[in-house]
């Protein structure tokens, strides 16, 4: 990558980066010059993703990490810092979905969704924030969902996690803005990925992972004197 690329001085972490939205975001950041560190639960899958990015000339590191476990997060962030330096961009994208009426969800299933989608973003942000504070700059982007604003049948755990993520993002933005750290949340509608099959919907009318990556690029390239706190992203035509 050229040193005059927009993000050539940046080190970015993307959680859930082995496929779908996370992989598209990591690729976009790498194309803009950032060094990118990906994590996912599967070490094999995330290393394949990092290798694919390296094959495109992107500086990429892949490592297994469970964002819902503090020790795993701590080890991953330490590895990134040792290998490539302090993180200046964090994209909290890792997420799981479980869609069933609230009264039918088992406690362990509820915990898995909330621990991944909400607690994971908190743990990862908590770990990198001190690095950003020392640098007096940084950007944390949470990938939430329009399900964090609009409830639907069977969405109890997922909606709760995404509503919570929007609340976390807003409060973090106030906590960190005085240090020059910008916090944003992106709320996409239906995205065509392996995450959910969306039976009966036309994939060509859905959002694509690159659409979300484009919004992340837009947020990062915002003039330094301001930041966009929240973006709603919808397909032009309803799927």
Burial grade of 123 (CB within 10 A; 0-12, 13-18, 19 or more)? buried
The answer to whether 139 and 216 are in contact (CB under 8 A) is no
* Alpha helices, DSSP H, located in 85-180: 107-114, 120-135, 156-176
46 φ, ψ (degrees, to nearest 5): -75, -30
List the beta strands (DSSP E) in 53-145.
Answer: 60-64, 89-92, 138-143
User: What is the three-class DSSP state of 186?
Assistant: strand
The answer to whether 92 and 120 are in contact (CB under 8 A) is yes
Cα separation, 42 vs 75, whole angstroms: 15
Catalytic residue among 158, 172, 191, 213: 158
Cα separation, 217 vs 167, whole angstroms: 22
Catalytic site residue 158? yes
The answer to whether 33 and 7 are in contact (CB under 8 A) is yes
Query: Which residues are part of the catalytic machinery?
Result: 158
């Amino acid at each position: 990558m050229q040193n005059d690329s927009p993000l050539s001085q940046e080190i970015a972490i993307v959680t859930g980066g082995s496929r779908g939205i996370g992989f598209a975001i990591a690729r976009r950041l790498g194309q803009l010059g950032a060094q990118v560190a990906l994590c996912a639960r599967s070490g094999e899958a995330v290393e394949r993703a990092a290798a694919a990015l390296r094959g495109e000339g992107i500086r990429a590191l892949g490592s297994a990490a469970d964002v819902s476990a503090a020790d795993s997060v701590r080890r991953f962030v330490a590895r990134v810092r040792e290998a490539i330096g302090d993180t200046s961009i964090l994209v909290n994208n890792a997420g799981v979905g479980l869609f069933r009426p609230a009264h039918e969800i088992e406690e362990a299933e509820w915990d898995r969704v909330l621990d991944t989608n909400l607690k994971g973003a908190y743990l990862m942000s908590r770990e990198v924030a001190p690095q950003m504070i020392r640098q007096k700059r940084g950007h944390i982007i949470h990938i939430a969902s329009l399900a964090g604003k609009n409830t639907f049948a069977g969405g109890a755990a997922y909606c709760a996690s995404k509503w919570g993520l929007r609340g976390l993002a807003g409060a973090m933005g106030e906590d960190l803005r005085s240090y020059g750290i910008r916090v944003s949340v992106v709320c996409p509608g239906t995205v065509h990925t392996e995450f959910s099959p969306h039976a009966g919907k036309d994939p060509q009318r859905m959002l694509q992972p690159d659409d979300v990556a484009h919004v992340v690029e837009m947020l990062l390239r915002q003039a330094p004197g301001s930041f966009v706190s929240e973006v709603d992203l919808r397909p032009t035509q309803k799927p």
